[in-house]
A and B are shown apart, each in its own frame.
Chain A
């Protein structure tokens, strides 16, 4: 044990040992992920350093316009990432923008309006990031799953159409399943929280020396907020996407997952 300052650049450099372990395993098992791991680590370092300085700067100046710009930028990256994932889905960009945008802003808005979190940059930026990130994941999983099921269950969908079903009616089963599937990680995390793992926000507060009881209260709020945000995201996608799988004459499009 060295007596280095916690999370100084020395401990950061030392942590590269762990990356080396991952790289070595990848090389040894021929997983062909070494480039990906390396690239991901560099990106994580650069992106986090950048946002660190940004938040540092915003907290010092404390002007709302910077907070809004930061949230907008986060939204933009989330929408780009999710839309790329769901590329095969016609109108993926609109879908990603509508679902992630509406769900995150509504959730964040409600939290601020009800005074659950204070309006300062210190709260809005990290909480906003959590919300947007989770919405992004759920949007991607919902859309990708929907697209995949529309291919796998083409026969049933067309059987429904042939009986006179509308796009929503003929895809209701797969839409429901894709939402359920996308929500599983968040629901399970909510269920097992504290038993299996200590979630990020709480961990962070405890590491930073805050009162564990206060950290726990924050975490409960975060969990509830994420549930609302992801449920909203998945519902918006499952509401908007089915129409895009069909032509105006209600024919199921040929889709490439």
Chain B
């Protein structure tokens, strides 16, 4: 399947062909509320992410980053716009299949009751346990092969073998977040969405998880979309990224360049910590200076 996917190409507006992006977002819009009290959360968001890339969505809190991320696995339904997976509209996939292909790690680990093994194997067990769900299996002895599978997943996130039998509630924040990452990897997703996965952790755990993500990104062709408000994290981890302010994509490009040499005032303000968060800063003026869409290296097209 990999070979075929590598071969997928799309035609650009001017007739050239280029590799099909793993993920493309076109014209995503979302409002909350209705009628006159409706608030725009996302205004016409466009970007694409190459296969194997770690794409960073940066922005101040309340800018709509998390909501944008949740539109990608349809935990939130956008009002308009398209999410394309390998060029095919995600909205045409059965939601449950989409979510198996596009995994997600949240700000807090949100582990289920039961052991680490029960958590890690939640996704794979969904197929066989009917409406009572994998949580109904918690505490039962694992089937042959399940322990080995869990151990292998834990190894990928840097946790030792004996963690399989630990109670999820007994883990530290950093350990729990590793288990949450292993749980998402168990479904063998193509894309992993990360919603500020380290923001609830202490600085040491934060750095370790950051290191783990770097390792995972280096390992293979898993594609990441990573939401953060942390500039250093974005610089350290991201291949490409965008800056989201009040639901507008105000800047985008390769990392760390687009943060180190900001071309637009909003980015400069954000990088220098002068960002006021007021609405006038968020007007979509800022888009022009970085050239046309196809000039953006790595498919960070706008």
Contact surface of A with B, Cβ cutoff 8 Å: 155-156, 158-166, 168-170, 172-173, 176, 247, 249-252
Contacts and interface: CB of A to CB of B under 8 A. Distances in A.
Given A155-B108, A159-B110, A162-B103, A172 B95 contact: no
Contacts of A162: 73, 75, 99, 103-104, 106, 184
Contacts of A173: 112-113, 133, 135
B183 interface: yes
A172 B184 CA distance: 20
Given A251-B74, A251-B76, 9 more contacts: A158-B110, A159-B183, A162-B99, A169-B129, A169-B132, A172-B135, A173-B112, A250-B95, A251-B75
10 contacts: A159-B183, A161-B75, A161-B99, A162-B104, A163-B123, A164-B99, A165-B122, A165-B134, A170-B133, A249-B77
Contact of B77 (A158, A170, A172, A247): A247
Interface in B255-297: none
A240 to B, nearest CB: 12
Interface string B116-147: 00000011001001111111100000000000
A172 B133 contact: yes
B75 A158 contact: yes
Contacts, number: 85
A164 B99 CA distance: 5
B12 interface: no
Contact of A169 (B106, B113, B131, B180): B131
B92 interface: no
A155 B129 CA distance: 21
Interface residues of B, number: 33
A103 B139 CA distance: 32
A163 B123 CA distance: 5
Given A164-B96, A173-B135, A251-B74, A159 B126 contact: no
Interface of B: 73-77, 95-97, 99-100, 103-104, 106, 108, 110-113, 122-123, 126, 129-136, 180, 183-184, 187
Contact of B187 (A163, A176, A251, A252): A163
A249 B134 contact: no
- The list of the 4 closest CB pairs from A to B, nearest first, reads A169-B133, A172-B133, A155-B110, A168-B131
A156 B77 contact: no
A158 B106 contact: yes
A169 B110 contact: no
Contact of A159 (B74, B96, B97, B112): B112
Nearest to A171: B133
Given A158-B75, A251-B75, A163 B99 contact: yes
Contact of A160 (B95, B122, B132, B136): B122
Contacts of B110: 155-156, 158-159
B138 to A, nearest CB: 8
B134 A169 contact: yes
Contact of B131 (A160, A172, A251): A172
Contacts of A247: 77
A100 to B, nearest CB: 23
Contacts of A168: 131-133
Q: With a 10 A CB-CB cut-off, give which of A159, A172, A173 has the most chain B CB atoms.
A: A159
Contacts of B111: 156, 159
Contacts of A176: 136
A155 B35 CA distance: 29
B76 A163 contact: no
A72 B183 CA distance: 51
A236 B76 CA distance: 29
A172 B183 contact: no
Given A155-B106, A249-B74, A165 B133 contact: yes
Given A251-B75, A251-B76, A160 B108 contact: no
A195 B103 CA distance: 54
Q: With a 10 A CB-CB cut-off, give which of A156, A160, A163, A168 has the most chain B CB atoms.
A: A163
Contacts of A249: 74, 77, 95
A194 B281 CA distance: 73
B81 to A, nearest CB: 15
B171 to A, nearest CB: 15
B225 to A, nearest CB: 13
A251 B95 CA distance: 10
A172 B136 contact: yes
A150 to B, nearest CB: 14
A161 B103 CA distance: 10
Contact of B184 (A156, A163, A251): A163
A160 B136 CA distance: 13
Contacts of B97: 164
A121 to B, nearest CB: 41
Given A169-B133, A251-B74, A251-B77, A163 B100 contact: yes
